[in-house]
Chain A
Amino acid sequence: GENVEQHPSTLSVQEGDSAVIKCTYSDSASNYFPWYKQELGKRPQLIIDIRSNVGEKKDQRIAVTLNKTAKHFSLHITETQPEDSAVYFCAAGPSGGSYIPTFGRGTSLIVHP
C-alpha cells in the first residue's frame, strides 16, 4: 500500500516569511495529491490539490509542486500570516474509479506575529 512521509513535524516562522512542507510517497499509482489544513478542534479542510499531470499549481499565497519521478510533493506558503497557524496534512492516492488517500502525519505550522 501507499506510504506517505511528511516533514517537518513542526515548523515555526515569523509573520511574512515563507513556509515549506515536504512529503514523499511510495506508490507510483498515486496520481492525486491534496493538502488539508486543520485548525485546532476543527475538521481538515482541503486547501489545494494537484494531479500528476501537473508540476505546479498556485492559489494566491499557496502553491504546491510535484516531482513525480522522485515521488516528492511540497506545499509552499508565502507571506505567512498568524491565521495560517494550523496543522497541515498531505495525502496521496489514486483518483480513478475509487479514491483512498493515505495521509501524512501532519506538520504543525506556527506563525509568530
Chain B
Amino acid sequence: EAGVVQSPRYKIIEKKQPVAFWCNPISGHNTLYWYRQNLGQGPELLIRYENEEAVDDSQLPKDRFSAERLKGVDSTLKIQPAELGDSAVYLCASSAYSFGTGAYEQYFGPGTRLTVT
C-alpha cells in the first residue's frame, strides 16, 4: 500500500514569491492534515480536513496561507506571499480508524522542506 505522497520534497524561493505544496493521502483516509515543523520542534497543525471540508483551520495564517481539498482526496497548501519565517518542513498526514488500536492512526508524508531567502 502506498503511503502519503508529497511534492515537491524541497523548495527554495525568494521572499514575497508564491509557493504551493501537494499531498496525496493514503487511499481511503478521509482525514487529512497539514502540519508545519520548525527545526527542533514537533509538528504544529495548520489545517485538518474531513473529506473536502476544512474542520479545523484556527492555526492557519489566513492572510497568506490557503488550502484546498477538492473531491476529498488530494490537497494543496499555498503560501502567497512567502516570508522568511515560513521556512520550515510542511508535513501532510492522513488518518483512519484502526480496529486494532480502537483509535485513529495517523501516517505522515515525507514533507516538503521550504527555504525562503
Contacts and interface: CB of A to CB of B under 8 A. Distances in A.
Interface of A: 4, 6, 31-32, 34, 36, 42-46, 49, 51, 89, 91, 95, 98-101, 103-106
B106 A101 contact: yes
Interface of B: 4, 31, 40-45, 48, 50, 55-56, 91, 95, 101-111
Given A103-B43, A105-B40, A106-B41, A95 B103 contact: yes
B47 to A, nearest CB: 11
Contacts of A101: 106
A98 to B, nearest CB: 7
B106 to A, nearest CB: 7
B103 A99 contact: yes
A90 B18 CA distance: 33
